[in-house]
């Protein structure tokens, strides 16, 4: 019998999101008790809010957009890897992934569990200090010819921008990790949650993953409803 795990965070007004991009704005404009139907209006939401995918055009000039990527790229068998031993702001390197080399398969998805989904909120750990995939880790996965890479953190790359409260923390700019993956056609899935429900205490677990985004014409990414389907 199949078990389905929701890997998506909820979208709501002023939710935690990338610190240098505009916050989400959602309002109810009709109510069923008054108007006969309830309707919400999203007045502001960028394409990298909540659980979402990054496509090549996000960092690659003239890269593939939502119009170019076939739907089968957003469905894949794959594996969740437990990397929750990584500390705040620590890089995930090739040596971390090499431990799971027999599980990382060509044409499949690799989902990185850091435990940061449990820290989600308006706090420095979640917004700036997550463990991230470094340059060598990204190259390792490209060499393995994976289909997609996901993480339960704000970004696959580390924090490398600057706000009034936080300067860069990552060893290399986030753009480096993104470009390595995206230039190889690897789909990136960010802000996953509940990966621990897939693992259930195991160091790794296999599943069928769905991470299909909204079909926004010309977009370089977009929010998705990510799911893991496990045969148990």
**pLDDT tens across 90-103, in order?**
999 999 999 999 99
Q: How confident is the model at residue 1 (pLDDT cuts 50, 70, 90)?
A: confident
Tell me whether residue 41 is in a domain.
Answer: no
Give me the chain's average pLDDT, please.
Answer: 98
The DSSP symbol for 23 reads P
What is the per-residue pLDDT for 218? 98
Distance CA 19, CA 21 (A): 6
Tell me whether residue 16 is in a domain.
Answer: no
Q: How confident is the model at residue 10 (pLDDT cuts 50, 70, 90)?
A: very high
Tell me whether residue 14 is in a domain.
Answer: no
Tell me whether residue 151 is in a domain.
Answer: yes
Q: How confident is the model at residue 48 (pLDDT cuts 50, 70, 90)?
A: very high
Mean pLDDT on 26-35: 98
Tell me whether residue 40 is in a domain.
Answer: no
Which strands, in side-by-side order, build the sheet including 2-6?
2-6, 227-231, 204-210, 75-82, 109-113, 148-151, 187-190, 52-54, 221-223
Mean pLDDT on 214-227: 98
Which structural domain, as residue segments, surrounds residue 206?
A: 2-8+46-231
Tell me whether residue 79 is in a domain.
Answer: yes
Task: Please count the CA atoms within 13 angstroms of the CA of 31 that sit on its side-chain side.
Answer: 4
What is the per-residue pLDDT for 63? 98
Tell me whether residue 212 is in a domain.
Answer: yes
**Cα–Cα nearest to 51, from 230, 198, 229, 227:** 227
Mean pLDDT on 25-48: 98
Residue 213 · residue 221 · CB < 8 Å? yes
- pLDDT at position 232 over 90: no
Query: How many domains does the chain contain in total?
Result: 1
Residue 73 · residue 67 · CB < 8 Å? no
What is the per-residue pLDDT for 14? 96
pLDDT digits (tens, 9 = 90+) for 120-166: 999 999 999 999 999 999 999 999 999 999 999 999 999 999 999 99
| 103, 193, 195, 205 from 2: Cα distances, Å | 21, 19, 16, 14
Mean pLDDT on 49-53: 99
Residue 180 · residue 141 · CB < 8 Å? no
Q: How confident is the model at residue 188 (pLDDT cuts 50, 70, 90)?
A: very high
What is the per-residue pLDDT for 54? 99
Tell me whether residue 39 is in a domain.
Answer: no
What is the per-residue pLDDT for 95? 98
What is the domain-level CATH number for residue 202?
Answer: 3.50.30.50
């Amino acid at each position: 019998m199949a078990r389905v795990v929701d890997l998506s965070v909820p979208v709501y007004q002023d939710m935690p999101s990338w610190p240098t991009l505009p916050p989400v704005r959602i309002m109810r404009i009709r109510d069923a008790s008054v108007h006969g139907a309830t309707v919400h209006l999203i007045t502001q939401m960028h394409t990298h809010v909540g659980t979402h995918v990054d496509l090549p055009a996000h960092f690659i000039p003239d890269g593939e957009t939502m119009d170019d990527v076939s739907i089968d790229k957003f469905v894949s068998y794959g594996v969740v890897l437990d990397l929750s031993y990584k500390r705040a702001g620590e890089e995930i390197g090739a040596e971390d992934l090499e431990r799971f080399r027999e599980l990382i398969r060509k044409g499949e998805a690799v989902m990185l569990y850091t435990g940061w989904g449990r820290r989600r909120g308006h706090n420095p750990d979640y917004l700036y200090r997550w463990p991230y995939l470094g340059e060598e880790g990204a190259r390792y996965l490209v060499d393995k010819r994976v289909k997609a890479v996901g993480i339960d953190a704000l970004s696959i790359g580390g924090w490398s921008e600057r706000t009034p409260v936080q300067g860069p923390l990552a060893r290399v700019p986030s753009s480096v990790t993104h470009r390595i993956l995206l230039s190889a056609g690897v789909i990136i899935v960010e802000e996953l949650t509940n990966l621990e429900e897939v693992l259930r205490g195991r160091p790794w677990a296999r599943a069928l993953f769905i991470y299909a985004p909204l079909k926004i014409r010309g977009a370089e990414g977009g929010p998705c409803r990510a799911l893991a389907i496990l045969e148990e």
